[in-house]
Amino acid sequence: MHTLFLLAALLAAASVSGLGALLLRATPPGERQSPALVVLAAPVFVLGLAASHAIPGVWTACAPLIGWDRAGTVALLSAQGGSAVAALALNLSRLVLVERLLRACRAPDAAVLDRLAAVARRARQPAPALRVLETGGALAVTGGVMRPTIVVSTWLLERLDQRELEAVMAHELAHIARRDHLVRWLGELLRDATVYLPGGWYALRVLRRDQELASDVAAVGITRRPLAMASSLVKIWRTSGARDGAPLLSSLPSHGGSADLFEERLSRLLAPEPPRCSRWRGRLLAGAAALSVGGLTPRVLATAATVTPLVCSLRPGMMF
């Protein structure tokens, strides 16, 4: 019966993930980062609360765990726990990889540092660290845990004009101001923990897209030059195409890198009226979704435990 309960919880997690994906599709671009994080976290919450029924003191009066039920329960809990542990190990290794990449890059020339400092002053934020990667590919990324750092390739310094390079820097400064590289890392961790749920893959793509769109808007607000941002994007796209960047790095061509995202970014940059996005509406939607999931999940699981029947019930303190 415990096995059936865990399978019911898995179905509930998949349903929450699928409904969340539908909610994201109905949410305007630029307002979806916070809801996407809720969609990524909700299945983890559902499965974690269901797995907690094996912890004494959280659930009461449970049926005994014996025979095939015990074997099935241990197998399911091991699979879900193993997925979570593997996700954590993978994403911690990504952090280490990024730090190694940053150390391998050289310091830029003083003129490039001065240009970044000027853009940062216009953005009214401190100038971050800047490193240069010796490569012939187009690359502009942000990473680092303790100290956010912008990495640009020598290709960008050689091929972009001054206004285009400033637009790229403003875009990356916007990523730093929003801590996008850390948010993306968290999103990848949550996606990897429930890698078997397709809704998580879609939510992570939405999160990546919104980060790029929002940073474009912020960059134009800093430089007041949408054409420079669009021109740099076209040059980078022609060189790099639809490729994924490294983990924990916010890449200019688009992290998730599809041609339709490139076209969407370009059309928004060239639009007569700049797009307007409300982060607060997205946050309110995310808050409402989180409260709904937090309030309904214990009741749904308690009902499933009764029907299974486990003859289990959550302690009153666990009810939201």
Q: Which of 143, 151, 147, 145 is nearest to 169 (CA)?
A: 151
Which tens digits make up the pLDDT trace of 144-153? 888 889 999 9
C-alpha span between 150 and 144 (Å, rounded): 9
β-strand partners of 149 = 129, 143
**For residue 122, what are its two tokens?**
């216009």
C-alpha span between 102 and 92 (Å, rounded): 16
- CB neighbours of residue 176 within 10 Å: 23
C-alpha span between 299 and 305 (Å, rounded): 10
Share of the chain above pLDDT 70, in %: 88
Share of the chain above pLDDT 90, in %: 52
In this structure, which amino acid lies at residue 79? A
In this predicted structure, the answer to whether residue 319 has a pLDDT above a threshold of 50 is no
Q: Which domains does the chain have, with CATH numbers?
A: 2-97+280-318 (no CATH), 105-278 (3.30.2010.10)
Which tens digits make up the pLDDT trace of 20-72? 999 999 888 888 999 999 999 999 999 998 888 777 666 666 777 778 878 88
In this predicted structure, the answer to whether residue 223 has a pLDDT above a threshold of 90 is yes
- CB neighbours of residue 133 within 10 Å: 19
Contacts of 38 (CB under 8 A, 6+ apart): 20, 286, 289, 290, 293
Predicted TM-score of the model (pTM): 0.87
Instruction: Give CA 48 to chain center in angstroms.
Output: 20
